[in-house]
Amino acid sequence: MEDKKELKEIMRETKRLYDEQCKKILSYKQILAYIFKECLEEYKDLSLEKIQELLDEEQSHDKMISKNVENQSIRGSMIRYDLLYKIKNPQNNNSMWIDIEPQGMDPGTNDLFHRGFYYATRMVARQRNDPEGFEEDDFDNLQKVITLWICLHHARYKNNTINTYRIEERNIVGHLKHAKEFYDLMEIILLCPRKRQRS
């Protein structure tokens, strides 16, 4: 019984150390620039140097410092984001929020997508009456939210994939069109990096 308890503690500590190392790596602007260029539509046409310049405008050192990761916008249902950054949308100069969630193991279900959707909706909700959000019913100042899940150990068929899920406009009746920035306010990205082949 004691052995099982000790093993659980070791596993928990190993996971904690792994998470901490991932968070350190994913705070470097040089690394974030590569990820943003590959994964974010707003950044894909920019050079890596320009992306780093934009990140420098937010924070002037080599690493990004995460915002408050605790979300208590729903009483009794606190969640903790791994890394939460406020960055500039270079297409319209508005701010947007990105939550980065490195995952050691792929749960093998829809868990990451559904968690991503839940985290994104909570990131929207936390903006109301927040100093970095909007006041009362001023919904025109809602900022886009992105939640990016990086799954490091995943099934082979997911190797080297990036999938994105977002809100889009579909005309069912009539021809009414809104500008994309009007509704492009939430995005979930699942990234499964390429695994190195064993020789």
Indicate the domain borders of the chain.
Answer: 2-192
**Helix (H) or strand (E) segment spanning residue 153:** strand 144-153
Indicate the pTM of the whole model: 0.85
- In DSSP terms, 86 is beta-bridged to 97
Tell me what pLDDT residue 156 has: 85
DSSP 193: P
Q: Which residues of the chain have pLDDT under 70?
A: 1-16, 108-109, 197-199
Tell me what pLDDT residue 7 has: 47
Tell me what pLDDT residue 73 has: 75
DSSP 90: T
Tell me what pLDDT residue 71 has: 83
DSSP 184: -
